[in-house]
């Protein structure tokens, strides 16, 4: 907290790092088209620095679901945008709210840059019998998500109750429902490129948000195909000077 009334003020180290991350993410997004290097190089950099990052290159499992207003949205309909995908259910008492807030943090960083128009954040509920229209709408507002480029999806009422859990399982994430309605599950944030290919998983909640922002920035610049450059890229130099 900053106290201006008492003269000299202090800012917590965590706050400083978050502000620095936002500034760096914005700077990278603005200059990256001139300094972009291959996705392979970004992958390797994140493997070295981000222990919760897992690179992928496979066709992303498809889905066709509906939003809070009943509008049908499929993965195919999102072609041309980078998709940041996660799975939660709204009655989850612990990690799901934290996951939603982490996604909101990443979205806020992205939406300070031109990437706002290039990235769609998608959350899929694994409890469609409970998570219907008003519940879906309220959840985003409660956790700071911007509906401009975020959507919360559920299955249609005439679909089996485990429809979205099967989609999660296709992404390698199992939600097991107990007798009390609670679901045992892991936490993964998936990144899908403009062509519908799964390109990365960020596991858990301890990854640095700026690392995911850097990864999606590389995808928005279409760096999937490597190209030579004589000097190390801007991000390689900058990341080497950071404490994380």
**Long-range contacts formed by 68-76: CB under 8 A, 24+ apart:** 68/133, 68/134, 68/136, 68/137, 68/152, 69/133, 70/133, 73/122, 73/151, 73/153, 75/192, 75/196, 76/196
Does residue 123 contact residue 83 with C-beta atoms inside 8 Å? Answer: no
Spell out the residues 6+ positions from residue 50 whose beta carbon is closer than 8 angstroms to its own: 202, 207, 208, 211
Q: Annotated binding site for Cu cation: which residue ranges?
A: 92, 96, 185
C-alpha 108 chain-centroid distance:
11
Q: Give bridge partners of residue 151 from the DSSP assignment.
A: 122
Neighbours of 142 (CB within 10 A): 12
Residue whose token pair is 């469609």: 128
Q: Annotated binding site: which residue ranges?
A: 92, 96, 185
């Amino acid at each position: 907290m900053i106290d201006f009334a008492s003269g000299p003020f202090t800012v917590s180290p965590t706050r400083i790092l978050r502000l620095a991350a936002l500034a760096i993410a914005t700077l990278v997004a603005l200059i990256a088209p001139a300094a972009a290097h291959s996705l392979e190089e970004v992958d390797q950099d994140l493997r070295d620095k981000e222990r919760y990052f897992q690179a992928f290159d496979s066709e992303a499992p498809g889905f066709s679901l509906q939003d809070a207003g009943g509008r049908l949205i499929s993965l195919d309909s999102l072609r041309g945008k980078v998709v940041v995908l996660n799975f939660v259910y709204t009655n989850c008492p612990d990690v799901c709210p934290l996951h939603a807030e982490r996604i909101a943090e990443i979205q806020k960083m992205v939406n300070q840059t031109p990437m706002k128009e290039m990235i769609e954040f998608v959350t899929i509920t694994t409890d469609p019998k409970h998570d219907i229209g008003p519940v879906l709408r309220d959840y985003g507002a409660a956790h700071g998500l911007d509906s401009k480029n975020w959507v919360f999806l559920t299955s249609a009422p005439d679909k089996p109750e485990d429809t979205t859990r099967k989609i999660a399982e296709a992404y390698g994430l199992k939600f097991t429902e107990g007798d009390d309605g609670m679901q045992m599950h892991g936490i993964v944030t998936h990144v899908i490129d403009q062509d519908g290919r799964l390109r990365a998983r960020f596991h858990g909640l301890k990854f640095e948000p700026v690392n995911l922002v850097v990864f999606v920035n590389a995808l928005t610049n279409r760096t999937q195909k490597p190209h030579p450059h004589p000097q190390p890229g801007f991000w390689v130099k900058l990341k080497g000077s950071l404490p994380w």
